[in-house]
């Protein structure tokens, strides 16, 4: 996987003895995952291998995230801030990021509202991969694409009706049902919501 890079020329390594803080952010949900430090060597290894690699200040060694736990970070993009003394790394996590076993090092501090969609999509995908008897989502997948598509249509109609009669609470409820069933159908189509976002982004004038 090719890693996108921006503003990585002439980084200010001299400010902190060849160490730069690296903020790790989920490439899909936008959630902050962790903070660590990079040296020129660990950054180079990250760019060459696509696996996020840091420098341990306590052990004084270069280490690849997940080399013992298996909870790796696949690098998508590395950028520098305006002063070129801090890095932001967009990555795709494989398992919990924090050494305490939580998804991020800021567990319990909340998450961006839209990041919940990414978490919900992961749960939906898991229900498809491993069917659970008591799961409504699993039962949807078991009944097949035609049934799921029908549910999306039904929820869309109910959302429209709620809007027409100006029932805001009902509109919120039906909108939530519509989005949920749409996420299920997207997964059934072997796509992801990221693919949908990609189409929206391509239509946005600011991203062309």
pLDDT per position as a tens digit, 28-62: 888 899 999 999 999 999 999 999 999 999 999 99
Helix ranges (DSSP H) in the chain: 40-49, 115-129, 136-143, 145-164, 168-188, 193-203
Give the span between the Cα atoms of 46 and 90, in whole angstroms: 12
pLDDT at 125 over 60: yes
pTM above 0.85, yes or no: no
pLDDT at 199 over 90: yes
Give the span between the Cα atoms of 53 and 33, in whole angstroms: 14
The single-letter DSSP state of residue 111 is -
Q: Which domains does the chain have, with CATH numbers?
A: 4-93 (3.10.20.810), 115-200 (1.10.287.1080)
Cα distances (Å, whole numbers) of residue 165 to 65, 154, 170, 171: 53, 17, 10, 9
Task: Give 149-191 pLDDT, tens digit per residue.
Answer: 999 999 999 999 999 999 999 999 999 999 999 999 999 999 9
């Amino acid at each position: 996987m090719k890693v996108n890079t921006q503003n990585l020329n002439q980084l200010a390594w001299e400010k902190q003895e060849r160490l730069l803080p690296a903020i790790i952010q989920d490439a899909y949900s936008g959630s902050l995952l962790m903070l660590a430090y990079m040296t020129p060597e660990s950054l180079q290894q990250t760019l060459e291998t696509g696996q996020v690699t840091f420098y341990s200040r306590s052990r004084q060694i270069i280490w690849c995230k997940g080399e013992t736990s298996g909870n790796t970070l696949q690098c998508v993009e590395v950028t520098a801030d305006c002063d070129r003394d801090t890095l932001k790394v967009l990555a795709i996590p494989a398992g919990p990021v924090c050494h305490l076993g939580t998804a991020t090092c800021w567990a319990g501090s909340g998450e961006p509202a839209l990041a919940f969609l990414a978490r919900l999509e992961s749960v939906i995908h898991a229900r498809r991969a491993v069917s659970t008897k008591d799961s409504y989502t699993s039962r949807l997948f078991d009944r097949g694409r035609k049934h799921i598509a029908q549910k999306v249509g039904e929820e869309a109609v109910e959302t429209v009706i709620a809007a027409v009669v100006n029932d805001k609470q009902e509109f919120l409820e039906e909108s939530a049902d519509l989005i949920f069933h749409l996420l299920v159908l997207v997964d059934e189509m072997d796509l992801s919501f990221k693919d949908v976002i990609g189409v929206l982004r391509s239509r946005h004038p600011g991203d062309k």
